[in-house]
Amino acid sequence: MTEEAATSEELRNRLVDQIVADRPLAPRVEHALRTVRREDNLPGIDLPTAYTDQAVSIKENPSGPLPLSCASVPSMVAMMLDQLDVKAGDNILEIGAGTGYNAALLDELTGPEGHVTTVDIDEDVALHARTTLNRSGHDRVRVFERDGLIGVPEHGPYTRLIGTVGLWDFPNAWWDQLADDARVVLPLRWRGQTRSIALTRHGNTLTADSVELCGFVPVIGQDGEKTAALNTEDTVRIHYDQDQDIDPAAFDESTFSIPCTTTLSEQRIGGEESFDGVWLRATASDNRVCRVEVTPKALESGVRRPSIPMRSPALVSGGSIAYLITEREEADPQRPFRLGAAAYGPDRDSLAQDLVAHINTWGAYRAAIPEINISALADPAPDTGFTITKSESRLTLNYP
């Protein structure tokens, strides 16, 4: 049977089969994915595309490279719903209505005794979600055109809250809308990375028990992330947070014209092996962690290629930078790539050594994830762990 001839149910089940083969899901989440028709929320999209494990844009952004709204990758949707652990009868708040597909899944999961409220700041997106939810029979879902950072207090307290946009901070307004022991799943951003974090409220603290790599369109209204060029040609850029002591003006035009220092770690990886944990672990102890972007023009001029040219983990101090690189070595065919650091600037040698130390620490405990807590900025700072102070909250990380 061709893709064009396959029915919605056949394509949907095939997609879910692929998802659960890679990541087993709770039975209720799997059932919801097999039940809710994604194409109802993607009018004009053909069935094979609707049931491909990829994001689908529904509103482009004329002022930036990322869309204003899209249907998230189905496997990521499944992962986050699994993290959220919805129970029948839950009262759920979703930040970012998108196509309405995720709200339809939440409606299926919480059942007739529960409630789903979804909010989006964009008028067109909110209208799209309302229209498709009505079309698919999920008209019980409440849709609000509103700034999600304010929430929807009139329908709280919520036992579950999920964000479907990248959030840099946890807004103060949400605390009063969460029930005791509420479960929260957020694509949280810090130091240029995004992690889907599942947390449970314990008094005035949210404590995480699940951390997964993810990627989402950033929420409108939070501007804690900064981007700056490190040379006049704007071919090397850094992406960092407003709380960091980073001064891009400390770099001069000669920084990237001088050969770099290259220092290799003891750690090797295979071609499909993830090393994102290097970044995560470094953010739990080092305020210099950010991301570097090296454009094709910079690479052509001789700047050393980072492990990921678009945005690789880096350390920045004064007018010096060290960033993650990979070098192919044939000595170990199972893990042919060796991780290391390339560094520029007056302190390049010591900065490269510091980054290699992070790599080696990660390598000794590759599967480890940190304990993560979120607390309000008005509350006392935690006694233990490494704290990152944002505009409205504190993020505390601690590796056991």
Contacts of 294 (CB under 8 A, 6+ apart): 235, 236, 303, 305, 306, 309, 312
DSSP 8-state assignment for residue 380: P
Residue matched to tokens 């029948």: 88
Q: Identify the CA nearest to 246 among candidates 226, 261, 231.
A: 226
Rg of the chain (C-alpha set):
22
Question: What is the phi/psi pair of residue 80, to 5°?
Answer: -70, -35
E strands in the chain:
56-59, 69-71, 91-95, 115-120, 142-145, 158-163, 178-190, 193-202, 205-213, 225-229, 236-241, 261-269, 289-294, 312-317, 320-328, 337-344, 371-376, 386-389, 393-398
CB 17, CB 54: distance < 8 Å: no
Q: Which residues are catalytic?
A: 72
CB 344, CB 258: distance < 8 Å: yes
Q: Identify the CA nearest to 184 among candidates 400, 393, 398, 399.
A: 393
Q: 160 forms bridges with which residues in the sheet? A: 92, 183
Nearest-10 Cα torsion for 11, 14, 18, 23: 100
Q: Do strands 225-229 and 205-213 pair parallel, antiparallel, or not at all (unpaired)?
A: unpaired
Rounded CA separation 214/228 (Å): 24
